[in-house]
Structure 1
Amino acid sequence: MKISIIIPVYNVEKYITNCLSNILNQTYKKIEIIVVDDGSTDESAILCDKFEKEYQNIKVVHQENKGLSGARNTGLKYVTGEYFFFLDADDWIDKDYVRQCVSFLNKDKPDILVTSFKKEYKDKTVGVTLNVKPKKRINIKNGRSFFLRRLIGEYGKELKHPGKIEDYNPAWGKFYKSRVFRQQKFLDNRKYRSEDLLFNIDAFYKAKSYEYLNTVYYHYNKQNEGSIVSSHDPVLFKQFNKLYGWIDHFITEKDLPELYKKSLNNRIILNLITISINECMLTPDKFKDNKEKFINILNDDLYKKAFSKFSYTELPLSYKIFFKLCEYKRVYLLRTMVKIAMSRREEIKR
């Protein structure tokens, strides 16, 4: 069985050599590596070309910058393997990752294979396991009631762990059957927040089966994060709005149960964590100038409607306080709470 690995590359000269070496050192060798250089301006393209000249199973495609979604869509055009998966250029996988996954895929040939992953901080590794029994085959009926619905949002007792809402989203850490998903496209990540999520919602709706393997890991590099202050996104709220509109239309179009709407409502509230970090981690002067914009965001009808249907019952106390501050637009208290939480996260990283 041939496996296609798609690697989007943009200004990652610090990581790309290790990334490609990691794949070439896999115990499983029937691999094609599709590298899409998305208009890099550093030495990334040169390094990729050197690997292509040396190894026959590496193909490098150069294109003008189209963003992550555009790079992945280009990579999909060159897939010839029975399954494909995505690997970010600053991440890596266990040495036996592909072999174990292929062994699993050969047995039942599920449409999607999901693996666990580890978040790699500078001085700490945090393992992430999904709420799925190991080596469990889930057919289309159960899959839609669990994974698809869980992608759309948390519900009930899942809200006890609101920080896990994004753990199911990534396109990486999953093997997709090529004949089912090769023609599927990522939406433009410059227009929609969380293009991985949208890709997977569509994929898990189409999937007739999937399986979960938690004996090997994808390693998600959390060291390569830019400054939160410098990476403020002025259009984040608009991107989230487009995301919610797309999901709401999907639920209606596919005539999914009401529980999916309730889960989406919870996602709208839980994603206020990301919105608040984006707005609160500005310098004091910039936050003062931005305060009214933040209040207007929190005062949007989207959140008024979502809070009116939201249950705080299962939330941990700290999250109850946080979302109450959001609901009542107490932006200075929110800023204090966010800064304390983020400083603790930095301590964990160090």
Structure 2
Amino acid sequence: MPKVSVIVPIYNVEKYLDRCLNSLLNQTLQDIEIILVDDGSPDNCPSLCDAYALKDSRIKVIHKENAGLGFARNSGLEIATGDFVAFVDSDDYVDVNMYQKLYKTALDNSLDTVYCGLNNVDAELNIIPISEVSEFTLFDTPEKIQQVLLDMIATEPSSKVERKYRMSVWHAIYSRKIIVKNNIKFWSEREYLSEDIIFDIDYLSNATRIAIIPDSFYYYCFNEDSLTKSFRADRLEKQKKLYEAILVRLNELGYDSSIYKDRIDKFFIGYIKFNLGNIARSNIGYPKKYKLVKEICSDPIWERLASYPIKEVPLKQQLILLLIRTKQARSILALYKLFRG
């Protein structure tokens, strides 16, 4: 049985695949399995995956019809056999010491999960390390793990940062035993905007000991074709579905709504601000931009956020929220243009 199963969904990433797979094949932790999930990729990725499998017995390949990132990860989970499971996006790569350090940390401290830091790699290949803790940090009570989960969703409204800990699953290893026992799966990003946060909620609500280490091992690379980095007109509906899904999940877990409601509201508002920025920077015509922003401002969802403490948030965010509440689409577009400049 391998120590770690690394699941890599693959779709239309031919120019990045070698970089990703070489970082996995050269891991100092050799006892791993690498599960390549070809999600109906239209380029040469399917044949490249098969070629890699012939070279290294640790590689397993799944070819399937395209169904999206979340379901591709689920296909990998179905055949994973490792003690722990990890996820890597195929346009990113990892430090060769990543899984050795994460696995040893988990083993030495009897952990269900270990999260590490990351490196943002921009279009010019500049690398910016990001660490969320300054030293090994243990969370070993239900209350502490609940706090980590809430801090993944969003910080308190008064905080200038959106969240304390990244919700992304790719900078961690997860206990496969917990995943299997609780039948934890990914939702489809084609229906909900972010499949990772639902996975984190389902997983962390069943974990008993987790830790975060400061080492920046994961390299998150700018890719202009990535789903999370491009403008999509359907974002609002997916954002609303995700907002409702998180509310339902935390309510089912018995969390106190007075603790989590403002955080989920901030989570939703953060996605809206990101969406507004993408609309403002897109190359669609101004009339279309205006129409999209007006639709966002006029959506009934804002009635659900009426209690959000706008006076507590930083001034720049106050201004954006006030413009949204008063449906000032033109002013919003002008403001984002000013911010960009």
Fold shared, TM-score > 0.5 on shorter chain: yes
Shift in Å at residue 273 of structure 1?
Answer: 1.0
Q: Does 1:318 align with 2:316?
A: yes
Q: What is the one-letter code of the residue matched to 1:38?
A: D
Distance 1:151 1:173 in 2: 13
Name which of 164, 168, 175 aligns with 2:173.
175
User: Paired residue for 1:194?
Assistant: 194
* Contact preservation (8 Å) 1:35, 1:48: yes
Shift in Å at residue 133 of structure 1?
Answer: 5.4
User: Paired residue for 1:104?
Assistant: 105
User: Paired residue for 1:347?
Assistant: none
Stretches of structure 1 lacking an aligned partner (at least 5 in a row): 345-350
Distance 2:157 2:226 in 1: 34
* Contact preservation (8 Å) 1:152, 1:247: no
Shift in Å at residue 208 of structure 1?
Answer: 1.1
Which is further off, 265-274 or 62-71? 265-274
Shift in Å at residue 227 of structure 1?
Answer: 9.0
* Contact preservation (8 Å) 1:268, 1:306: no
Q: What is the one-letter code of the residue matched to 2:264?
A: L
Distance 1:127 1:337 in 2: 30
* Contact preservation (8 Å) 1:143, 1:209: no
- 3-state SS of 1:66 partner: coil
Runs of 4 or more consecutive aligned structure 1 residues displaced over 6 Å after TM superposition:
none
- 3-state SS of 1:14 partner: helix
- 3-state SS of 1:6 partner: strand
User: Paired residue for 1:299?
Assistant: 298
Shift in Å at residue 340 of structure 1?
Answer: 4.2
- 3-state SS of 1:271 partner: helix
* Contact preservation (8 Å) 1:148, 1:201: yes
Q: What is the one-letter code of the residue matched to 2:153?
A: I
User: Paired residue for 2:131?
Assistant: 129
CA distance 1:339–1:227, shift in 2 (3 Å): farther
Which is further off, 83-92 or 132-141? 132-141
Distance 2:193 2:239 in 1: 5
Shift in Å at residue 136 of structure 1?
Answer: 1.6
Post-superposition CA distance 1:273-310 (Å, at most 9, x none): 1221243234362x313523422321223223414422
Q: What is the one-letter code of the residue matched to 1:204?
A: L
Stretches of structure 2 lacking an aligned partner (at least 5 in a row): none
Post-superposition CA distance 1:81-117 (Å, at most 9, x none): 1001001111111121111112111112311111111
Q: What is the one-letter code of the residue matched to 2:127?
A: T
- Superposition CA RMSD, Å: 2.2
Shift in Å at residue 319 of structure 1?
Answer: 2.8
Q: Give 1:37-52 correspondences, 5 Å limit.
A: 37-52=38-53
* Contact preservation (8 Å) 2:84, 2:174: yes
Q: What is the one-letter code of the residue matched to 1:271?
A: Y
Which is further off, 48-57 or 290-299? 290-299
CA distance 1:139–1:150, shift in 2 (3 Å): same
CA distance 1:273–1:77, shift in 2 (3 Å): same
CA distance 1:172–1:106, shift in 2 (3 Å): same
Shift in Å at residue 23 of structure 1?
Answer: 0.9
- 3-state SS of 1:234 partner: coil
Distance 1:307 1:324 in 2: 11
Distance 1:172 1:194 in 2: 13
* Contact preservation (8 Å) 1:69, 1:188: yes
User: Paired residue for 2:261?
Assistant: 261
Q: What is the one-letter code of the residue matched to 1:202?
A: D
- 3-state SS of 2:42 partner: coil
Distance 1:172 1:289 in 2: 35
Q: Does 1:225 align with 2:224?
A: yes
User: Paired residue for 1:8?
Assistant: 9
- 3-state SS of 2:312 partner: coil
Post-superposition CA distance 1:232-290 (Å, at most 9, x none): 322211101110111111122122012012211222222221221243234362x3135
Calculate the TM-score normalised by the size of structure 2. 0.91
Q: What is the one-letter code of the residue matched to 1:193?
A: L
- Percent of paired sites with the same residue: 27
* Contact preservation (8 Å) 2:20, 2:91: yes
* Contact preservation (8 Å) 1:6, 1:86: yes
Q: What is the one-letter code of the residue matched to 1:260?
A: Y
